[in-house]
Amino acid sequence: MDDMDLDRLDSPAPDWDALQDDRFRLEVRDWLRANCPPHVRFPAGRMHWHECRDWWERLYRKGWIAPAWPRELGGMGLSPYKQVIMAEELERHGCGRMPDQGITQVGPILVRYGTPEQKAWYLPRTLSGEAIWCQGYSEPNAGSDLASLQTTATEDGDDYVIEGSKIWTTLAMDATHMYLLARTGRGTRKQEGISFLLLDMRAPGLVVRPIRNIAGDAEFCQVFFDRVRTPRSNLVGAAGQGWAIAKSLLGFERLGIGSPRRPQLAFARLQQLAAARGLFDDPVFMERFTALRLDILDLSATYESFVEQVRRGEPLGPDVSLLKVWATEVMQRCSELMIEGGDEHAAFAGTVDVDGSPVNVLAPFYSSRPGTIYGGSNEIQRNILAKAVLGLPQ
């Protein structure tokens, strides 16, 4: 363990969950104001590790890197509602998302399904940022229909030998480890025979190829496995239990993706552009602008009613899917109106001078595109709403 870990362990972690909700919110807000460095606020895209490492370490030293983890494992031990408060304050402050899949996904899975050895090895390293994780689920022919995945892991002595490929793996180029789903057997249903494995990205035979997106950034990658070995001790849960393990994470965190904060920010940019270009005098623009504003206000009110449900300690039902559809699509509509309103300025990437005001006209368009695809595409969310909420026939 390095000095940073010792610093952290020397000071007993306060019980943040015991604070009254409003007091906790203010405490978080004040600390973020004083400690969050400007370079991690409102980034244009996903932050790479080298861009946010200092911020991660600051949160880690404070004991705030893992709000949902139990306190005895180095987390904050927050109740679901306090986790929502924490997420809202980070979002309000514009703190960009870090390579946090180890914290949000691997940690909770290991806490529930990991062996004592897996917990002892991986959890402290995940907290400190020594282990940075990427998610190896999607494949070239398995996205929405994830259970069709074809990557195999075959037992060979003390190892599994992995063959196949994963795609759209966010920040794989920064990751030291991957958690992945691979086929260790076959059953009558395609969900059977899938296992959940952990893998060191430095294993021989593993190749990471970054993919450049429409905005010119490489945020995700394709990863190839040519007889890549991982010890059998890196199997999480039982062989063939991977599908159930991966699904077990679907919970109240689905709320975050439907938060109104990002549409609100896109709308604020639209407002800035409209002011600079004198668009408020155009009745056709005003009609669409007002419709968007009302849509975002409705989204905020609906979001609050789900947050209230979490505060009461109630589980969220399938109807929470409507938030994701609403938030991501209203944000796309804001970005499209911005392009129309920006006229010739929308032809340029980066911040441009719009009639005397600096505006990045294209940024909301680019950043809102993936939202309707990841986290379960919006068509899949509509299927859920149709089936589980409206009771429509298949």
**Residues that are catalytic:** 253
CB of 93 to ligand FAD, least distance (A): 23
**Minimum CB distance to ligand FAD smaller for 118 or for 170:** 170
Q: CA-CA distances (angstroms) from residue 21 to 128, 180, 331?
A: 27, 36, 29
> What is the amino acid identity at position 128?
S
Contacts of 268 (CB under 8 A, 6+ apart): none
d(CA 39, CA 326): 30
Q: Treating both helix axes as pointing N-terminal to C-terminal, what angle do 80-92 and 21-35 enclose, rounded to 10 degrees?
A: 30
C-alpha to C-alpha distance for 178 and 223, rounded to whole angstroms: 10
Residue 377 interacts with ligand FAD (CB under 6 A): yes or no: yes
| Minimal distance, residue 50 CB to ligand FAD, in Å | 19
Residue 138 within binding range of ligand FAD, rule CB under 6 A: yes
Work out whether 135 is an interface residue with ligand FAD (CB under 6 A).
yes
- Which region among 21-29, 231-239, 327-335, 366-374 touches ligand FAD (by CB under 6 A)? 366-374
Residue 373: Cβ within 10 Å count: 15
From 11, 30, 70, 144, residue interacting with ligand FAD (rule: CB under 6 A)? 144
Kindly state whether residue 365 participates in binding ligand FAD, applying the rule CB under 6 A. no
Q: Name which position in 77, 143, 260, 364 contacts ligand FAD (CB under 6 A).
A: 143
Residue 211 binds ligand FAD (CB under 6 A): no
169 binds ligand FAD (CB under 6 A): yes
Closest CB to ligand FAD among 220 and 252?
A: 220
Element (H, E) at 86: helix 80-92
- The residue type of 374 is Y
The H-assigned helical ranges of 48-79 are 49-62
374 binds ligand FAD (CB under 6 A): yes
CB 272 within 8 A of CB 352: no
* CB nearer ligand FAD, residue 5 or residue 200: 200
> CA 296, CA 87: separation in Å to the nearest integer?
19
For position 224 contacting ligand FAD by CB under 6 A, the verdict is: no
Residues that bind ligand FAD (CB under 6 A): 134-138, 143-144, 168-170, 220, 370, 373-374, 377, 379-380, 383
